[in-house]
């Protein structure tokens, strides 16, 4: 078989909507300050729910700020987040899709765990709670899983491969990996990719309550007194390009997306496997041409549940051996919550910030480490340190693992 020459992939733009504010820099500054976006639940049915906290996008978020008013009626909150984040990322990248044929060579791949959940919840209430005989006529175009990807494609005239990825909490990382692969193998020169989620609805909260994995105080990853995860929402969208394409136009490169690893545990629908997670990390290292000793920081999946945090600790030790004790490891979900299919995208903002500024964000609320969680979790205060290469872990229900490996901008 002929040898395929793989192109290097770089990140030239990022945008975010998160519980820590509007914009990627607001998210990063909040994380490096150790500031929490978790607060009292804002929801009209909050009194009917047991759990009273969530990590929600600030109430001052205005969907109409930079979205055409003619488009707004067709958007679920998930797509509103994605379009805002995409606008920021594309503006930062400096790409102009209107003056050349780049739109034909640009892919759009967006991850989401549940898609248009707000629309689904509202229409279910209308049909079953209010006994309405009709759903809203735009229900389908709002709630379909691919809506965010398609809306980005339409907004910027992007005619390359466009689709959604849905793999629960690994959705964003899986989407980013898919986009990077298309650039590596010459199917696209650029890609708009990331993840988005708006899952703070009555139905979703009730369902998560039933699983008994939601914390009722705050998110405390790796802490001996951790009580579970805190649901979050938001979006992170990124512009990826081949390095040649970015350098030819003089773009500012934020980081290199050097490799990735993807595995399935094939064991249990909800109980994570250290072997499966470790295998994904090893694959990401090999794909990026990194040794364990090259990595300085891991942004952990770190949900704050009893099972995940101890299992992830074992997985990191399996993948890194003795070097695990020299790694800085932190979970930013302690501040932006668990945004399901958007989590990996919010965490990629943290990873890029760590590489760019040589600052590792902390694990907030870490009072006392669990003896089963015995790594350096950067408790409560950000750490200035050299950061050459990083991994970003996303592990999903269903036993699905997706790990990104990044290097400092060349």
User: pLDDT tens digits, residue range 174-206?
Assistant: 999 999 999 999 999 999 999 999 999 999 999
pLDDT band for position 100 (50/70/90)?
confident
What pLDDT score does 4 carry? 53
Can you state the percent helix, strand and coil of the chain, rounding each to 5?
A: 40, 25, 40
Catalytic residue among 84, 245, 338, 373: 338
CB 206, CB 126: distance < 8 Å? no
Mean pLDDT of the chain: 97
For the chain, list the domains and their CATH numbers.
Answer: 9-248 (3.40.47.10), 258-408 (3.40.47.10)
Q: Which residues contact 315 (CB under 8 A, 6 or more apart)?
A: 274, 275, 276, 277, 278, 281
Buried-state track 367-393, b at ≥16 Cβ within 10 A, e below 16: eebbeebebbbbbeebbeeebebbbbb
pLDDT tens digit sequence for 235-294: 999 999 999 999 999 999 999 999 999 999 999 999 999 999 999 999 999 999 999 999
Note if 338 is an active site residue. Answer: yes
- Which pLDDT does position 391 carry in this prediction? 99
Residue whose entry in the numeric block shows the structure tokens 């509202």 = 122
Q: Give the pLDDT band (50/70/90) at residue 99.
A: low
pLDDT on residue 1: 37
pLDDT of residue 2: 42
**Marked catalytic residue, from 84, 169, 199, 336:** 169
pLDDT given for residue 410 in this prediction: 87
43 is a catalytic site residue: no
Please state whether beta strands 389-396 and 297-299 pair in parallel, antiparallel, or not at all (unpaired): parallel
Write down the catalytic residue from 84, 174, 245, 301.
301
Name 262's bridge partners: 402
Q: What is the pLDDT of residue 66?
A: 87
Average pLDDT score over residue span 7-21: 98
Question: What pLDDT is attached to residue 234?
Answer: 98
Residues 322-377 have pLDDT tens digits of: 999 999 999 999 999 999 999 999 999 999 999 999 999 999 999 999 999 999 99
Check residue 98 and give its pLDDT: 80
Lowest mean pLDDT among 4-8, 80-84, 123-127, 384-388: 4-8
Task: Tell me the mean pLDDT in the region 66-72.
Answer: 94
User: With pLDDT > 70 as the criterion, what percentage of the chain qualifies?
Assistant: 99
- Characterise 315 by phi-psi region: left (phi > 0), alpha (psi -120 to 50), beta (else): alpha
What pLDDT sits at residue 3? 46
Entry pTM: 0.97
Other CB atoms within a 10 A radius of the CB of residue 186 amount to 13
Is the C-alpha dihedral spanning 387, 92, 231, 213 positive or negative? negative
Determine whether 169 is an active site residue: yes
pLDDT of 61 reads: 97
């Amino acid at each position: 078989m002929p040898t395929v020459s793989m192109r290097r992939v770089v990140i030239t733009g990022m945008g975010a909507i998160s519980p820590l504010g509007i914009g990627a820099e607001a998210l990063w500054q909040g994380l490096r300050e150790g500031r929490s976006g978790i607060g009292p639940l804002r929801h009209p049915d909050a009194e009917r729910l047991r759990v009273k906290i969530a990590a929600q996008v600030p109430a001052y978020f205005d969907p109409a700020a930079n979205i055409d008013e003619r488009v707004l009626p067709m958007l679920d909150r998930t797509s509103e987040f994605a379009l805002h984040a995409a606008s920021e990322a594309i503006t930062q990248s400096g790409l102009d899709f209107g003056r050349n044929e780049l739109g034909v060579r640009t892919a759009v791949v967006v991850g989401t765990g549940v898609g248009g959940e707000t629309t689904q919840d509202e229409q279910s209430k209308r049909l079953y709670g209010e006994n309405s005989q009709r759903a809203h006529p735009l229900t389908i175009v709002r709630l379909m899983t691919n809506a965010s990807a398609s809306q980005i494609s339409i907004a910027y005239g992007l005619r390359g491969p466009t689709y959604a990825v849905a793999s629960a909490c690994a959705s964003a990382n899986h989407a980013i990996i898919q986009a990077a692969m298309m650039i590596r193998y010459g199917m696209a020169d650029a890609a708009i990719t990331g993840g988005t989620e708006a899952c703070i609805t009555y139905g979703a909260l009730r369902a998560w309550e039933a699983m008994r994995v939601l914390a009722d105080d705050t998110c405390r990853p790796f802490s001996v007194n951790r009580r579970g995860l805190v649901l979050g929402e938001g979006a992170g969208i990124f512009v990826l390009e081949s390095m040649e394409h970015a350098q030819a136009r003089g773009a500012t490169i934020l980081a290199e997306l050097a490799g990735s690893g993807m595995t399935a545990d094939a064991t249990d629908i909800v109980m994570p496997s250290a072997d499966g997670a470790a295998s994904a990390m090893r694959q990401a290292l090999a794909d990026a041409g990194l040794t364990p000793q090259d990595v300085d920081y891991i942004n952990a999946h770190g949900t704050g549940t009893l099972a995940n945090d101890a299992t992830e600790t074992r997985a990191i030790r399996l993948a890194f051996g003795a070097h695990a004790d020299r790694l800085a490891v932190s979970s930013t979900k302690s501040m932006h919550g668990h945004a399901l299919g958007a989590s990996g995208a919010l965490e990629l903002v943290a990873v890029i910030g760590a590489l760019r500024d040589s600052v590792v964000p902390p694990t907030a609320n870490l009072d006392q480490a669990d003896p089963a969680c015995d790594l350096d979790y950067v408790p409560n205060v950000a750490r200035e340190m050299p950061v050459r290469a990083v991994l970003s872990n996303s592990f999903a229900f269903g036993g699905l693992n997706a790990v990104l490996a990044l290097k400092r901008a060349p």
